[in-house]
């Protein structure tokens, strides 16, 4: 992909920058791959003569979204998703950077696979891709992976992805070792011996005759890990917390001053276990969808800042992996393309200001991962999204660009649609309706 | 005329209304009489094909469905998955499509996963009867239990029924809970906490963890089978401890009403959940009658769903039984 050398001015926009609290009419001038200027003064008439002008027609213009938890499925499961297909879905959703999980085949537990993913992402030339390195070799939870070398080759943080580091001894050493390099450990907080079920343990599971995964599976692991974090002084991020108790546990840990952050995925704050209905496998997620009281507590946690980020937890599964009995069906749902709409929903229904909600998918995940992204900054990368926050669309197999169509929001209407996505100054996506 | 059950599939008892249950039981009652007569062969389903597709081993339920279909005059094919293409890795959906292409009229399906029969029913054009899906439902067992109770007690409404044992893993328990509560019975569950359904109270039942207290003043004591793997996976420590606290013997049964009747869906573990002394007591035990009613109920169900299918397809349907 050739670097962009010219100047592009995105004008006549509602300019939103969560990091600085900017919400004003204005524009962004990109020069090459970088932001040269932004603010109310970037208007037509006050631009360099050679600048190409994009009229945003009053739509929102914000830093591109940073989705800190996606499965790209490549290498190893290209029938479900590829780096290119996920990239197309991402930019259609305004996501300009993704952190991808190491649960591939082969696992991202050595620098060769990091290089492979980086090269494929460069070739796709869509959303930027930042791989997680495996925390343990093969994500087997036994031996610590070469996290120092992985970090040198570009891994942003370390996690066994969908698998929890179950052994307390391994986690203790991992946190200690990572702390010596200042590296971040991301955990799927779920005690494996309690996690054998198919959906949230409770009334619905009881009625349907499905095995339950109790909320305790999550908070036992969180409590354990946070004790170890306290002892080791490591940096720790809890992925996709799903229970009310977990919010409280993280809240207490933060009050203690521990170096802990966490995220939540849209299905957990927008849906409940009721979405399982009569064995609907698109609602089979890991962790499982919980109760209404959990959903409400997650919204509170997002509101008061206990939950730092919203990540899509994009997990593509092909039709055959979901068209099974609930027990046999795979866990997971796609989400990278619905992340923006789900974040706007958080603002509308959760009572968060638009900037506060957008911070959860821009500046905050960038800060957690230590990436120079997710904000408007002169000299920073021109990664931008132009969107209409009021326009509705229906999530369906037709509208989703991911190779897999397993959205827990399938056949529902979401509000907020992307008009244009810009990565390093290049427009990589222009909405089909082309209003901009 | 009572409003009949009008669906093409019978997937569970949860969605059944009281009038639909009553209509099915009334019809089954008539078949019970036929089954006791010398000539048991009817022609209600002549020319129709019933396929028994069993993913789990079963002798009694499969035989019961097979007899029911044959007595109605249908052709019956039995598919045990151990010997079929399923063992070669064919998916549930593909098997459904394959069987569907052979134009059966009714598929009777048992599967080890909850929801499997419902999933399969969405992929076929014939009628589907759930013969047990995982821990979810076993509607014909619920109906046959209800018929057995109604014939002995003359009613279902107002009776106090205790369902005892491994309710957590029991599709029989769930089908009975839905059906009996719909019919106005008072249902109790009796189990150690490890074998109870979480949130069972939301299903309209009362939960007990002490057998004597749970069956106190009950009209019906329904025992469930406890499977050996429950011991190895730590739900209960041993069979002898289970029998000591949750096994039904004459001494514990004394807590129930003096005329309380005992049921068991079979196959029984004598000396584990039920003492032989009770199981074989013809005054107290309904176990053999349950088996007898099973055939009658399945005849009623097969006839009803086939008639509903014919109606949906606009096919002619002969004189009703």
pLDDT mean across residues, chain B: 94
Going from N- to C-terminal start, the domains of chain A cover 64-369
Question: Do B114 and A212 make contact, defined as CB atoms within 8 angstroms?
Answer: no
Nearest-CA distance from A198 to chain B in Å? 11
| Per-residue pLDDT, B122 | 94
Residue of A204, A209, A278 with shortest CB distance to B135: A209
Q: Does domain A64-369 have CATH number 3.40.50.970?
A: no
pLDDT, average across residues B130-159: 98
State the count of interchain CB pairs (< 8 A) between A and B: 67
CA atoms within 13 A on the CB side of A223: 9
Sign, Cα dihedral of B68, B70, B73, B75: positive
pLDDT digits (tens, 9 = 90+) for A27-41: 999 999 999 999 999
| Per-residue pLDDT, B321 | 45
- Residue A200 in tokens: 């949230």
Q: Is A116 on the interface with B (CB under 8 A)?
A: no
Chain B residues contacting A, CB < 8 Å? Answer: 14, 91-93, 111, 113-116, 118-119, 133-137, 171, 174, 197-200, 202-203
Q: Which band of pLDDT confidence, cut at 50, 70 and 90, is reported for residue A296?
A: very high
User: Cα separation of A385 and A96, whole Å?
Assistant: 8
Judge whether A219 and A251 are in contact, CB under 8 Å.
Answer: no
| Per-residue pLDDT, B228 | 76
| Per-residue pLDDT, B234 | 86
Whether the pLDDT of residue A403 is over 70: the answer is yes
What are the backbone angles phi and psi of residue B302, rounded to the nearest 5°? -60, -45
DSSP B137: B
Sign, Cα dihedral of A311, A313, A319, A322: negative
Question: Do A206 and B92 make contact, defined as CB atoms within 8 angstroms?
Answer: no
Q: Which band of pLDDT confidence, cut at 50, 70 and 90, is reported for residue A133?
A: very high
pLDDT digits (tens, 9 = 90+) for A53-101: 999 999 999 999 999 999 999 999 999 999 999 999 999 999 999 999 9
Beta strands in chain B (DSSP E): 49-54, 75-80, 106-111, 127-133, 160-164, 186-190, 206-208, 220-223, 261-263
Most A-contacting residue of B109, B198, B203, B224 (CB-CB within 10 A), to test interface: B198
User: Cα separation of A183 and A155, whole Å?
Assistant: 10
User: Cα separation of A6 and A59, whole Å?
Assistant: 23
Residue of B92, B111, B118 with shortest CB distance to A278: B118
Whether the pLDDT of residue B80 is over 90: the answer is no
Residue of A201, A320, A326 with shortest CB distance to B115: A326
pLDDT, average across residues B4-23: 95
| Per-residue pLDDT, A276 | 97
Whether the pLDDT of residue B88 is over 80: the answer is no
* Pick from A342, A346, A333, A320: nearest CA to A402: A333
pLDDT, average across residues A390-409: 97
pLDDT, average across residues A270-274: 98
- Residue A281 in tokens: 């496998």
Sign, Cα dihedral of B83, B296, B140, B47: positive
- Residue B257 in tokens: 């009403």
Nearest-CA distance from B196 to chain A in Å? 9
* Pick from A271, A231, A226, A234: nearest CA to A250: A226
pLDDT digits (tens, 9 = 90+) for A234-263: 999 999 999 999 999 999 999 999 999 999
Residue of A205, A207, A325 with shortest CB distance to B116: A325
pLDDT digits (tens, 9 = 90+) for A309-330: 999 999 999 999 999 999 999 9
Q: What proportions of chain A, in percent to the nearest 5, are helix, strand and coil?
A: 30, 25, 45
pLDDT digits (tens, 9 = 90+) for B20-69: 999 999 999 999 999 999 999 999 999 999 999 999 988 899 999 999 99
Cα distances (angstroms) measured from residue B127 to each of B108, B296, B303, B306, B308: 9, 19, 11, 7, 8
pLDDT mean across residues, chain A: 96
* Pick from A103, A160, A61, A130: nearest CA to A376: A61
Q: How many residues does chain B have?
A: 321
Q: How many residues does chain A have?
A: 436
pLDDT, average across residues A351-363: 97
Tell me what percent of the residues of chain B surpass a pLDDT of 90: 87
- Give the residue numbers of A marked as catalytic: 313
* Pick from A331, A187, A307: nearest CA to A246: A307
| Per-residue pLDDT, A433 | 62
pTM recorded for the entire structure: 0.94
Q: Which residue of A has its CA nearest to B196?
A: A206
Cβ atoms within 10 A of the Cβ of A394, count?
A: 12
User: Cα separation of A263 and A69, whole Å?
Assistant: 9
Most A-contacting residue of B114, B121, B163, B181 (CB-CB within 10 A), to test interface: B114
| Per-residue pLDDT, A164 | 98
Q: Is A320 on the interface with B (CB under 8 A)?
A: yes
Q: Which residue of A has its CA nearest to B136?
A: A209
pLDDT digits (tens, 9 = 90+) for B147-166: 999 999 999 999 999 999 99
Q: Which band of pLDDT confidence, cut at 50, 70 and 90, is reported for residue B232?
A: confident
CA A182 to centroid of chain Cα atoms: 22
CA A306 to centroid of chain Cα atoms: 17
Judge whether A228 and A172 are in contact, CB under 8 Å.
Answer: yes
Q: Which band of pLDDT confidence, cut at 50, 70 and 90, is reported for residue B1?
A: very low
* Pick from A274, A289, A294, A297: nearest CA to A332: A289
Most A-contacting residue of B13, B56, B94, B119 (CB-CB within 10 A), to test interface: B119
| Per-residue pLDDT, B229 | 74
Tell me what percent of the residues of chain A surpass a pLDDT of 70: 98
Judge whether B143 and B179 are in contact, CB under 8 Å.
Answer: yes
């Amino acid at each position: 992909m050739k670097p962009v050398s010219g100047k592009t001015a995105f004008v006549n926009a509602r300019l939103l920058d969560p990091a600085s609290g900017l919400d004003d009419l204005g524009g962004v001038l990109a020069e090459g791959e970088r932001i040269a200027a932004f603010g109310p003064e970037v208007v037509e008439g006050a631009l360099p003569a050679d600048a190409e002008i994009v009229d945003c027609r009053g739509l929102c213009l914000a830093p591109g979204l940073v989705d800190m938890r996606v499965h790209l499925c490549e290498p190893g499961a290209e029938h479900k998703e590829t780096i290119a297909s996920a990239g197309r879905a991402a930019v259609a959703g305004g996501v300009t950077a993704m952190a991808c999980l190491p649960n591939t085949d082969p696992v991202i537990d050595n620098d060769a696979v990091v290089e492979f993913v980086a090269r494929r992402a460069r070739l796709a030339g869509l959303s930027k891709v930042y791989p997680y390195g495996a925390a343990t070799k093969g994500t087997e939870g036994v031996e610590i992976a070469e996290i120092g070398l992985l970090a040198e080759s570009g891994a942003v943080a370390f996690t066994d992805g969908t698998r929890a580091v179950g052994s307390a001894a391994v986690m203790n050493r991992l946190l200690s070792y990572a702390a010596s390099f200042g590296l971040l450990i991301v955990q799927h907080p779920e005690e494996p011996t309690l996690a054998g079920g198919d959906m949230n343990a409770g009334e619905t599971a009881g009625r349907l005759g499905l095995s339950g995964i109790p909320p305790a599976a999550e908070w036992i692991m969180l409590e354990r890990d946070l004790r170890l974090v306290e002892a080791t002084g490591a940096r720790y991020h809890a992925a996709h917390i799903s229970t009310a108790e977990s919010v409280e546990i993280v809240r207490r840990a933060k009050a203690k001053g521990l170096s802990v952050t966490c995220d939540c995925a849209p299905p957990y704050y927008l849906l409940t276990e009721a979405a399982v209905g009569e064995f609907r496998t698109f609602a089979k997620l890991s962790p499982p969808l919980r109760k209404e009281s959990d959903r409400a507590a997650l919204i509170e946690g997002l509101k008061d800042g206990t939950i730092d980020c919203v990540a899509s937890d994009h997990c593509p599964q092909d039709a055959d992996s979901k068209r099974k009995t609930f027990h046999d069906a795979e866990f997971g749902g796609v989400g990278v393309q619905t992340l923006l709409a789900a974040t706007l929903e958080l603002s509308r229904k959760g009572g968060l200001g638009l900037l506060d909600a957008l911070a959860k998918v821009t500046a905050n995940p960038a800060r957690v991962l230590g990436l120079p992204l997710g904000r408007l900054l002169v000299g920073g990368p021109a990664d931008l999204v132009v969107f209409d926050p009021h326009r509705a669309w229906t999530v369906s197999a037709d509208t989703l660009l991911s190779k897999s169509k397993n959205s827990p929001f399938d056949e529902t209407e979401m509000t907020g649609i992307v008009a244009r996505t810009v990565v390093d100054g290049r427009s990589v996506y222009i909405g089909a309706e082309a209003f901009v | 005329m009572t409003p009949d059950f009008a669906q093409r599939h019978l997937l569970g008892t949860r969605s059944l209304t009281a009038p639909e249950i009553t209509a099915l039981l009334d019809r089954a009652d008539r078949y019970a009489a036929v089954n006791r007569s010398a000539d048991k062969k009817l022609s209600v389903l002549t020319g129709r094909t019933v396929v028994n597709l069993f993913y789990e081993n079963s002798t009694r339920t499969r035989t019961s469905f097979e007899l029911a279909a044959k007595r109605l005059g249908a052709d019956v094919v039995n598919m045990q998955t151990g010997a079929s293409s399923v063992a070669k890795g064919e998916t549930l959906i593909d098997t459904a499509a394959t069987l569907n292409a052979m134009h059966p009229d009714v598929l009777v399906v048992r599967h080890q996963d909850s929801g499997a029969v419902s999933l399969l029913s969405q992929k076929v054009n014939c009628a589907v009867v759930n013969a047990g899906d995982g821990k979810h439902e076993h509607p014909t067992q619920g109906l046959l239990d209800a018929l057995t109770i109604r014939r002995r007690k003359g009613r279902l409404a107002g009776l106090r029924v205790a369902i005892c044992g491994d309710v957590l893993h029991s599709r029989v328990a769930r089908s009975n809970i839905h059906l009996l509560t719909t019919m106005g019975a008072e249902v109790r569950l009796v189990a150690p906490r490890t074998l109870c359904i979480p949130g069972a109270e939301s299903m309209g039942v009362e939960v007990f963890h002490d057998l004597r207290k749970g069956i106190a003043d009950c009209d019906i004591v329904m025992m469930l089978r406890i499977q050996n793997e429950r011991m190895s996976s730590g739900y209960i420590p041993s069979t002898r401890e289970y029998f000591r606290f949750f096994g039904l013997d004459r001494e514990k049964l004394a807590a129930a009403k003096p005329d309380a009747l005992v049921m068991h869906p079979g196959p029984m573990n004598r000396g584990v959940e039920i003492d032989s002394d009770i199981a074989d007591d013809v005054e107290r035990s309904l176990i053999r009658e349950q088996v007898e009613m099973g055939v009658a109920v399945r005849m009623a169900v097969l006839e009803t769903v086939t008639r509903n299918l014919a109606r949906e397809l606009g096919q002619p349907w002969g004189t009703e039984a």
